[in-house]
């Protein structure tokens, strides 16, 4: 099976993450979880992580080391509402940039599993 990175490339992941963060910036549930002065940094970290995770550049690992996602997200209260909204916004971004199959399904499954794993509150 073709890796999502082979289908999207760096530019496709950049487009996906940009579409996601355009939604997050104005979102009343998860937007407030992001530092208002670090939108570009947040976007860069997610973009680089996804590129690394799905078969592209190792830049994320070289700059930040092991992802340690739960530890990095622990300071933020992430419950069912936050998880569900994160997924809603990411699925809208997947649709907007028209991520093709099978990458779309693989990314959606990864996002759903990871979003649930990030939960640290009811």
Owner of token pair 């794993």: 117
* Domains of the chain, each with CATH number or no CATH: 4-117 (1.10.490.10)
For 101, what's the count of Cα atoms within 13 Å in the CB-facing half-sphere? 0
Can you tell me the distance from the alpha carbon of 101 to that of 88, in angstroms, rounded to the nearest whole number? 19
- The model carries a pTM of 0.92
Q: By CB neighbour count within 10 A (0-12 exposed, 13-18 middle, 19+ buried), where does 32 fall?
A: exposed
What distance lies between CA 59 and its chain's CA centroid? 16
| 10 pLDDT higher than 80 | yes
Percentage of the chain surpassing pLDDT 90? Answer: 78
pLDDT digits (tens, 9 = 90+) for 36-81: 899 999 999 999 999 999 999 999 888 887 778 767 777 788 999 9
Name the band, by pLDDT with cuts 50, 70 and 90, for residue 24.
Answer: very high
């Amino acid at each position: 099976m073709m890796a999502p990175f082979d289908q999207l490339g760096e530019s496709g992941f950049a487009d996906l993450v940009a579409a996601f963060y355009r939604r997050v910036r104005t979102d009343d549930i998860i937007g407030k979880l992001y530092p208002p002065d670090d939108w570009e940094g947040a976007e860069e970290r997610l973009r680089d992580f996804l590129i690394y995770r799905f078969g592209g550049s190792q830049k994320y690992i070289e700059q930040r080391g092991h992802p340690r996602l739960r530890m990095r997200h622990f300071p933020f209260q992430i419950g069912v509402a936050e998880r569900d909204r994160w997924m809603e916004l990411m699925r809208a971004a997947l649709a907007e940039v028209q991520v093709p199959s099978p990458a779309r399904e693989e990314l959606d499954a990864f996002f759903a599993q990871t979003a649930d794993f990030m939960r640290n509150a009811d």
